[in-house]
Amino acid sequence: MPIQTVVVAVAVVLGAIAVGRLANAWWKYRGRRVITCPENQRPAGVVVDARHAAATALGKSPELRLSSCSRWPERAGCGQECLSQIEASPEGCLVRNILTKWYEGKVCAWCGQPFGEIDWAGRQPALLGADGVSVEWSEVPADKLHGTLAAASPVCFACHMANRLVREHPELAIDRARPKA
């Protein structure tokens, strides 16, 4: 086998390893998270700069920094000590994972259908507030997530969309409930 073929093969393998490590770091640190702010001990919604984490992941642990925080711009100059919480449990503070655990074993408050595996790319379930209005979880600020979940009930995608249609376009909705005999 010619030496050039070996060099190309080694380069391809090393390149694939590097790309895999970069992609893994990006995947691990993407998404909205809920942390406890070290300054006031209250929940805060943060987003890690996943591109920076991926770009610094070659040969060492990724360097983490925030790209946004619910306490900014007022506290934008903080030392970002909350990053230690994300380093300790990157999956545990991810909003998507918190919600997955919350929906686990629950049934829709309106139709009673159990929640199976959540399709985060498509038919996402919603939350039913105390006011009887359903909202998409993405409408809930991350720093208010735990409080909202404590007072909310789960609603499936179909019931949420039906409720939303009736609420936003009552002229398009027809109540086909049978009259009581």
Res. 179 pLDDT band, cuts 50 70 90: low
| Alpha-carbon distances, residue 82 vs 19, 45, 64, 90, 94 (angstroms) | 28, 11, 10, 12, 14
Rg (CA), the chain: 22
Q: What is the pLDDT of residues 64-119, one digit of tens each?
A: 999 999 998 888 888 899 999 999 999 999 999 999 999 999 999 999 999 988 88
pLDDT, greater one: 99 or 20: 99
Q: What is the pLDDT of residues 146-160, one digit of tens each?
A: 999 999 999 999 999
CB 154 within 8 A of CB 103: yes
What are the φ/ψ torsions at residue 68 (nearest 5 degrees)? -160, 160
Gap between the terminal Cα atoms of the chain: 87
Res. 180 pLDDT band, cuts 50 70 90: low
Per-domain residue ranges of the chain: 95-181
pLDDT at position 76 is 80
Is the full-model pTM beyond 0.85? no
